[in-house]
Amino acid sequence: MRIGLLVAVIAGFWLVAYADLERARNRAIHDGLRQTANLSTLLEEDARRVMVVADHALRATAAEGTIPAYLVGETAGGSGATTGPGPALRTLMIVERDGRVRQAAGLHKPAYVADPPLAEALMGESRAFVGPYREAEGGWRAAMIRPLANGSAMAVAVLDLDRFARLYATQDIGPLSIILFYGENGVVLSHSRSGMRALDENRAFFASVLPRLPAGENARTLSGLDPTEGRERIGTVRRVAGWPLYVYVRIRTEDVLAGWYNDRWKRILETAAVSVVVLLLAWLALRQLGRLETTTQALRASERRSQALFDSSFQIMGLLAPDGRVLALNRPACALAGLPAEALVGHRAWEFRGWARTDELAAAFRQSIEKAASGRFVRYETDVVADGLTRVMDVTIKPVYDDRGVVTVLVVEARDITERVEAAGRLATALDQAEAANRAKSAFLATMSHELRTPLNAIIGFSDIMLHELFGPLGSPRYRDYARHVQNSGRHLLDLINDVLDMSKLEAGRYTLDESWMEAAEAIETCRALAAVPADVGGVTLAVECPPDLPNLLADERALRQVLLNLLSNAVKFTPRGGRVTVSAVREGDGRIAITVSDTGIGIAADALARILEPFQQADSSISGRFGGTGLGLSICRDLMALHGGSLSIDSEPGRGTAATIRFPADRTGRPVAVDGLPA
C-alpha cells in the first residue's frame, strides 16, 4: 500500500514535469506567434507610412506640375520619408514620356530614365506601381507613377526597396526565419534573408504559395507545414492598410523552440533529482506516522484560535446556510441580536428583530440572502438600533462555493459606517456653501467693476482734455506730465477692472458671444496694427504670415481681438529688443483654423506651463514687478476659446521663445476667401 502510494507520487512528479514541458513548449509557440503579430504590426505601419508619404509627395507634385520647394528639401534631406535605416523615398522626379527627366530631387537625380519597367510604365496614361526592378548599379527599386494634372508629363516617386531589406535584417527572429514584403500578385518586393539566389533572380518564385487575404480581413496568423521549405513554421501575414501590399513575418519552429530544447534535458535531470529526494522524504515520512495524533491535536488548537479571532473582531460577522439558517456568529453579532449564540444557531436570520427591526427590513434582509444564495455578491446599507441609537451599517453577503460550484455557505459582514455617512453629509453641505460663496464673489466683483468704471472713465476723459489743453494752457510742463501719469494709471486700472469683469462673467457663465461671420485675416491685421506701436517702442519686429485663401470664421469679433491682443501684448512684452514676434494662421487638415503667436522672447519654464492658464498665475512671481500684469489675460483667453468650442495651447522653452496657438473647430470655418475678397 505504502509502496504503491510512493510509486504514484513519483509518477505524479514525472507527469507534472511532462505537463510543464508541454506548457513551456506551448508558451514558446504562443510567444513566437505574439512576436510575429507584434513585429508584423510594426513593419506594416512602417510600410504604410512610407507609402503614404510617397503618395503625398506624388500627389503634391502632380497637382502643382513641379516638385514643391518643401518636398525638394525633405526628399534631399531624407526627413519626410525616412523610417528605419535610411531614406525610403529615394528620388522624386517629373519625367517626360520619352524618358527625359524634367526635374528631380533626392539621393539620385538621373537625366534620363532607362530602366525598362519604369520606362514602359511612363508611356501609360494613368497611375501605376512599378516594381520590383533592379537599377543598373544593382539596387532593388519600386516606383509610383502619377500623371501631372495638365497631362504633360509623369510624376515619379522611386522607393528604395533595399532600405526595407536592411530594416528587416536587423530584426532578431532567428537564422532560419524570414520577413517578406510583397504585393497582391505574390511578387516579393523585399525580404530579410541574404543569399537566397532563387528569390533574388526571380522575385515571383514564391508567388503561388505566399498567403493573400480576402477583402475585409487585415491580418491572419499561420502555423503548420511550410510548402516552400517543407518544415514546420509559424507566422503572421498582415495587409498594409490602404495598399495591395502585405508584410509576412515567418518564423521556423526550430528558432522558436531553441530555448525550449536547451531547457528540456535540464528539467529531466531536475525531475530525476526530485524523485530521489522524494524517496528519501518518503522514508522520513514513514517515521512520522506515529506523530499523527500530536498533529491532530495541534489542528484542533488551531481551530480554537481561529474561533477566537472570529469572536474578537469588532465587525459583525456570521455564517449562514443558503436557506438563511444561522451556522455560526461572533460576539458582536450576538450582542446586536440581544441573544446568546445557542438561541440563534439553526434559526432563520431575518426572524430576529435585533437585526431587522421592521417587517420591511426583515423582507429586504431575506431577499438579500436569497440573492446571495443564487451566487451573487450582495452589498447594501441599512440602519439598526444599538444602545438606543440608530446606526448605519454597511452589510455584505458573500457566497462560498464547494468543488462542484455549489453555494454551501454565506459569509455575512456588517460594518458601522455612521461616522462616514455623517461626514459625507457635512462635506456636501460645505461644497454647497463654497459654491454659494463663489457665486457671491463673482457677483461682488461684477458689481464693484461696474461701480469703478464710471469714475475711471471720467478721470481718463478729463486727463485727456487736460493733455490736449482744450480750455487753455496748463502752465507748467509738469502739469502735462502729471496729467499723462493720471491718464496712464487710469487706463491701466480700467484694463484691470475689465479683466476682472470678464473673468467674473466667465466664471458665472454670463458671458454671451455676439457671433458673426468675419474674415480672420482682417482681424489679425487689425490687432497687428494696434500692437505695432509698443513693438516699435520695444525694438521688436512684428510680422504676419497668413495665406490669401484663409476661410471665413464664425466668432465673436470683440472676443477674438481681445484674445489676439492679449497674446500679442504678452509676446511683445516678454521679447527683448531685436527679437521677433510672428502671427501666423493656417487651415489644418481636419478643417480647424489655427492662429499662432510665436516670439523669440524669454520663454516659460516647464513647471510653470501647467499653471500659467489659471487665474492670477504667472510664470515667475517676479514678472508682475518687472513687466506688470495680473495673470488674468491667459485665463480669459482660454475661457473665451472654450466658449467658441476651441482651445488654447502654449509651447515654450526658456531662452528660445514661446508659441501660443488658438484653434477654432471645423464647424466655425466657412469657404476660403480669395485675394479679391470673393469666395474661392
User: What is the reported pLDDT for 630?
Assistant: 62
How far, in Å, CA of 275 to CA of 277, rounded?
A: 5
Residue whose cell numbers read 497668413: 546
Mean pLDDT for 176-183 is: 90
How far, in Å, CA of 611 to CA of 74, rounded?
A: 37
The answer to whether residues 357 and 385 touch, using CB atoms and an 8 Å cutoff, is yes
Among residues 103, 122, 44, 50, which one has the least CA distance to residue 80?
A: 50
pLDDT-based confidence at residue 472 (cuts at 50, 70, 90): confident
Mean pLDDT for 245-274 is: 82
User: What is the reported pLDDT for 679?
Assistant: 47
Cell numbers given for 680: 474661392
Cis (ω within 30 of 0) for the bond into 132?
yes
User: Does residue 22 carry a pLDDT above 60?
Assistant: yes
User: What is the reported pLDDT for 7?
Assistant: 77
Q: Decide: pTM greater than 0.85.
A: no
Mean pLDDT for 626-636 is: 66
* More confident of the two residues 29 and 336: 29
User: Does residue 629 carry a pLDDT above 60?
Assistant: no
Three-state DSSP class for residue 74? helix
pLDDT-based confidence at residue 228 (cuts at 50, 70, 90): low
Kindly report the average pLDDT of the chain as a whole number.
Answer: 81
User: Does residue 548 carry a pLDDT above 50?
Assistant: yes
* More confident of the two residues 250 and 299: 250
User: What is the reported pLDDT for 450?
Assistant: 65
DSSP letter, residue 240: P
User: Does residue 337 carry a pLDDT above 90?
Assistant: no
* More confident of the two residues 641 and 347: 641
User: What is the reported pLDDT for 213?
Assistant: 92
How far, in Å, CA of 59 to CA of 539, rounded?
A: 43
Its CATH architecture, for the domain 298-416, is 2-Layer Sandwich (3.30)
The answer to whether residues 634 and 648 touch, using CB atoms and an 8 Å cutoff, is yes
- Find the helix packing angle between 258-287 and 2-64, rounded to 10°: 150
Mean pLDDT for 331-355 is: 75
User: What is the reported pLDDT for 225?
Assistant: 77
**Which stretch of 7-16, 141-150, 425-434, 513-522 has the lowest confidence by average pLDDT?**
7-16
pLDDT-based confidence at residue 45 (cuts at 50, 70, 90): very high
Mean pLDDT for 344-364 is: 77
User: Does residue 192 carry a pLDDT above 80?
Assistant: yes
- Residue 5: in which H helix or E strand, if any? helix 2-64
pLDDT-based confidence at residue 184 (cuts at 50, 70, 90): very high
CB proximity list for 112: less than 8 A, separation 6 or greater: 99, 100, 101
Q: Which CATH class for the 515-672 domain?
A: alpha beta
CB proximity list for 278: less than 8 A, separation 6 or greater: 6, 9, 10, 13
> What percent of the chain has a predicted confidence (pLDDT) above 90?
18
User: What is the reported pLDDT for 110?
Assistant: 84
How far, in Å, CA of 44 to CA of 66, rounded?
A: 30
Highest mean predicted confidence (pLDDT) among 67-81, 119-133, 566-580: 566-580
User: Does residue 265 carry a pLDDT above 90?
Assistant: no
* More confident of the two residues 446 and 275: 275
Residue 515's DSSP bridge partners are 556
CB proximity list for 122: less than 8 A, separation 6 or greater: 95, 97, 99, 113, 145, 154, 156
User: Does residue 208 carry a pLDDT above 80?
Assistant: yes
Q: Does the domain spanning 423-508 belong to CATH 1.10.287?
A: yes
Domain residues of the chain, as ranges? 298-416, 423-508, 515-672
The answer to whether residues 563 and 640 touch, using CB atoms and an 8 Å cutoff, is yes
Highest mean predicted confidence (pLDDT) among 67-81, 285-299, 373-387, 663-677: 373-387
pLDDT-based confidence at residue 508 (cuts at 50, 70, 90): low
Residue 87's DSSP bridge partners are 82
User: Does residue 261 carry a pLDDT above 50?
Assistant: yes
pLDDT-based confidence at residue 387 (cuts at 50, 70, 90): low
User: What is the reported pLDDT for 375?
Assistant: 85
**Which stretch of 140-154, 359-373, 528-542, 608-622 has the lowest confidence by average pLDDT?**
608-622
User: What is the reported pLDDT for 599?
Assistant: 93
pLDDT-based confidence at residue 663 (cuts at 50, 70, 90): very high
User: What is the reported pLDDT for 618?
Assistant: 62
Task: Express each pLDDT in 282-333 by its tens digit.
Answer: 777 767 776 777 787 777 777 666 666 666 666 777 888 888 888 887 777 7
User: Does residue 240 carry a pLDDT above 50?
Assistant: yes
User: Does residue 675 carry a pLDDT above 50?
Assistant: no
pLDDT-based confidence at residue 502 (cuts at 50, 70, 90): low
Q: Are strands 541-545 and 580-587 parallel, antiparallel or unpaired?
A: parallel
How far, in Å, CA of 608 to CA of 602, rounded?
A: 13
User: What is the reported pLDDT for 437?
Assistant: 75
Cell numbers given for 232: 514546420
Neighbours of 74 (CB within 10 A): 21
User: What is the reported pLDDT for 86?
Assistant: 66
